[in-house]
């Protein structure tokens, strides 16, 4: 319990609507030989390249398909599809600087998680109903057999481009280059449902600090910044380094 709550008296128990995680799993996947797709201009560059390097790779989107597991009530298969965007350095010769091109690819993973049961539809004034299982379009079952699905979520660490290969087929004008990458990702996949939860309430979260108004000159503000000593000295392997964005990913 924080020091702020320790100094305040318990007021009441309140009910909040929250997403409860019913099941989750951690995933460490090495996705091999993912073939990149390029636009026409970039593909022409790849076709004329002698060798390539994967500078970095990032995840631009993620989609889910959730289906109940037959004869295992409350369990669901979760198919997660990752959308990748890779930054590739294409070298036409050893003496020439590389041309930067971007390629995309997808990869899927299936897990089975417990998501509990849900036989009611949920509507809210400012949103539509939660995704529901496909139901028959005619008969009584069309009204009665329509259970809601749990909600899937995934948290992903910055992906790593472990390897990149260039394969050339054909000769002359028919020469075509194919780029494949090997990607390593760490992820946590969850199944959740909205549930009412009773929690203790102490008070409304009113900020106690004032918002400062800066009136200093640019030089006075600059003088308050601590000198970045660590930026001038290389870090050792045992030093934690933050990863932020595509540029920090490792490459092979």
Tens of pLDDT along the chain (252 residues) come to: 455 555 667 778 889 889 999 999 999 999 999 999 999 999 999 999 999 999 999 999 999 999 999 988 899 999 999 999 999 999 998 889 999 999 999 999 999 999 988 766 777 787 654 444 444 445 444 444 345 889 999 999 999 999 999 999 988 878 899 999 999 999 999 999 988 999 888 877 778 787 777 777 888 888 888 888 887 877 776 655 444 455 544 444
CA angle in degrees (0–180, nearest 5) for 236-237-243: 100
pLDDT at 7: 62
Q: Where are the alpha helices (DSSP H) in 125-173?
A: 141-144
Closest C-alpha among 62, 94, 89, 54 to residue 78: 62
Closest residue by Cα to residue 90 from 160, 182, 168: 168
**What is d(CA 118, CA 146) in angstroms, rounded to the nearest whole number?**
9
Domain range list for the chain = 3-115+150-233
Which single residue is written with the structure tokens 């939660």?
130
Distance CA 164, CA 34 (A): 9
pTM here?
0.74
Q: What is the pLDDT of residue 225?
A: 84
């Amino acid at each position: 319990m924080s020091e702020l709550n320790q100094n305040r008296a318990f007021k009441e128990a309140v009910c909040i609507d929250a997403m409860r995680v019913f099941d989750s799993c951690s995933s460490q996947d090495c996705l091999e030989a993912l073939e990149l797709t390029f636009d026409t201009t970039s593909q022409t560059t790849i076709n004329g390249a002698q060798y390539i390097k994967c500078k970095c790779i990032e995840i631009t989107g993620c989609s889910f398909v959730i289906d109940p597991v037959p004869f295992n009530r409350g369990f669901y298969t979760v198919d997660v599809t990752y959308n990748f965007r890779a930054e590739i350095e294409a070298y036409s010769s050893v003496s020439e600087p590389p041309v930067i091109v971007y390629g995309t690819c997808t990869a899927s993973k299936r897990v089975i998680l417990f998501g509990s049961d849900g036989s009611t539809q949920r509507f809210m004034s400012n949103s539509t109903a939660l995704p529901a299982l496909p139901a028959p379009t005619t008969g009584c079952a069309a009204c009665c057999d329509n259970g809601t699905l749990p909600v899937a979520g995934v948290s992903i660490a910055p992906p790593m481009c472990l390897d990149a290969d260039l394969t050339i087929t054909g000769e002359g004008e028919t020469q075509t280059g194919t780029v494949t990458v090997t990607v390593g990702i760490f992820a946590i996949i969850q199944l959740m449902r909205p549930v009412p939860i009773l929690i203790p309430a102490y008070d409304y979260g009113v900020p106690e600090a004032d918002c400062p108004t800066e009136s200093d000159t640019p030089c006075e503000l600059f003088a308050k910044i601590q000198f970045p000593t660590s930026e001038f000295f290389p870090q050792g392997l045992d030093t934690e380094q933050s990863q932020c964005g595509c540029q920090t990913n490792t490459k092979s």
